[in-house]
Amino acid sequence: MDVVITPLTLADVPEMLDLWRATEGLMMRDADSPAALGRYLDRNPGLSLGARFDGRLVGAVLCGHDGRRGYLNHVAVAADARRRGIARALVERCLAALAEQGIDKCHLFVRVENDPARAFWKRLGWQDRDDVRQMSFVSSGKANA
């Protein structure tokens, strides 16, 4: 499978959203609107990546940083394209791009009950943390943001 990995653009957002909606265990929120995703891509140019096979988006990852830590969001590969190293390649390229910008630590979120995803990340050498708890605040009052 010859997969081409390129930076994601605003034009990729509709296909990216379709991929995420079809990915079990991936939690989407109001913050995943096309407008919000466009702002994210603009704020983190060239870091978010898509993998295409025969023109179809089969993998995607949002990647960005806050100046000191990197973040991966919504790492997904289409079910029929898994077990070919696509997710690993996307992650490795994101981490390399972050390192080029001086970012040496990266975080991501995995749903507690998503055992296949947790196993995948552990195989890649990521640490499963139990020493921190995520807390969120949404200024709009929307519970699903």
DSSP, residue by residue, the chain: ---EEEE--GGGHHHHHHHHHTSTT----GGGSHHHHHHHHHHSTTTSEEEEETTEEEEEEEEEE-SS-EEEEEEEE-GGG-SSSHHHHHHHHHHHHHHHTT---EEE---TT-HHHHHHHHHTT-----S-------TT--TT-
90-135 pLDDT, tens per residue? 999 999 999 999 999 999 999 889 899 999 999 999 999 989 988 9
Domains recognised in the chain with CATH numbers: 4-123 (3.40.630.30)
- pTM of the predicted structure, to 2 decimals: 0.90
pLDDT top residue among 25 and 14: 14
pLDDT band at 139 (very low <50, low <70, confident <90, very high): confident
pLDDT value at residue 1? 66
Residue 138 is predicted with a pLDDT of 82
How high is the pLDDT of residue 104? 96
Q: What is the pLDDT of residue 30?
A: 86
**Cβ pair 53, 1 in contact under 8 A:** yes
Compute the mean pLDDT over every residue in the chain, rounded to the nearest whole number. Answer: 93
- pLDDT single digits (tens) 17-40: 999 999 998 999 988 999 999 999
Q: Is pLDDT at 69 greater than 70 in this prediction?
A: yes
Task: List the beta bridge partners of residue 108.
Answer: 72
